[in-house]
Amino acid sequence: MRDSSIPKYQAVHDEILTRLLAGHYSIGTRLPTEELLSKTFDVSRVTIRKALELLVRAGYLTAKQGSGYIVATLSPPSSTCMSSFTDQVLNEGHVPGAKLLGVENPTKTLPAPVKQLFDEPLALVERLRTVDGLPRMFTQTWIPVRLVPNLSASDFPETGQGQSILRIFRQRFEVEWTTACETLDSVLADPAIAGQLDVPANTPILSQACTAFDPKEKPVFFDQVYRQGPINFDLSGGKTQQTSA
């Protein structure tokens, strides 16, 4: 809040956002009261309220009467075009997990849909997403090696709110994307996938294939997800936002 050329509410907004992204406030927790924030930043409560309203509009916070401002996500659809599975699970009061199954950098495992999208070396990340320790999604993510130099297993925490692959790509590697398209299908789990999801072979499951694109409409990464249970969408504002791994 040292730049006097910007409005006070914007400076407060920027500082709170910085603290959010740095992990000072956990997803699903309540921010300090307007009164306390007013004292912390040495500004009026009106200024604080205006700053917080900007964060609500961007999707980082939700305002609940009698409860104040709650941290909703660190990767709002307004910035990623996709919603975070990690954040959704945390907001529902459950514990997300991300067991890393492997990182191949580069990989030789290239299914037909991936070959059609990319003509360059790719890295592959395979993870098992869990909720309260129970398997829910088996994910495979392909991304160009040039976008994630030196990508390794150490980049993928298995617990905590930093396990979101959206944040790993965007915050650690500064990968940018603005749109995404997906294909949903019902498939029968083959023995390998069934083993990961702890279901009998040939159990009906959901297949979700998603491609993220940069502002020039070039593919950035491809996500193949096999999951148990439904997929949630946010239709607010007339835009469909998917829940990603």
Domains of the chain (ranges; CATH) run: 8-71 (1.10.10.10), 77-244 (3.40.1410.10)
Position 11 pLDDT exceeds 50:
yes
In b/e form, how buried is each residue of 173-191, taking b as 16+ CB within 10 angstroms? eebebeebebeeeeeebee
| CA-only gyration radius of the chain, Å | 20
- Residue 127: which of 166, 94, 93, 92 has the closest Cα? 166
pLDDT confidence tier of residue 240, bands split at 50, 70 and 90 = very low
Residue whose token pair is 């936002």: 241
pLDDT confidence tier of residue 245, bands split at 50, 70 and 90 = low
C-alpha–C-alpha distance, residues 95 and 131, integer Å: 6
Neighbouring-strand partners of residue 135: 130
- List, for residues 50-82, the tens digit of each pLDDT value: 999 999 998 889 998 888 999 988 877 655 567
- List, for residues 128-145, the tens digit of each pLDDT value: 999 999 999 999 999 999
- List, for residues 155-202, the tens digit of each pLDDT value: 999 999 999 999 999 989 999 998 888 899 999 999 999 999 999 999
- Residue 73: which of 202, 198, 173, 167 has the closest Cα? 167
Cα separations in angstroms, 86 against 27, 69, 157? 9, 20, 12
Q: Span 87-95, mean pLDDT?
A: 91
**Strands 219-227, 204-213: parallel, antiparallel or unpaired by DSSP?**
antiparallel
**More reliable by pLDDT, 16 or 5:** 16
Amino acid residing at 123: A
Position 38 pLDDT exceeds 90:
yes
C-alpha–C-alpha distance, residues 158 and 139, integer Å: 14
**Strands 82-84, 241-244: parallel, antiparallel or unpaired by DSSP?**
parallel
C-alpha–C-alpha distance, residues 93 and 90, integer Å: 5
Q: Span 37-62, mean pLDDT?
A: 93
CA 209 from centre of chain? 16
- What is the share, in percent, of the chain residues with pLDDT greater than 90? 70
Position 242 pLDDT exceeds 70:
no
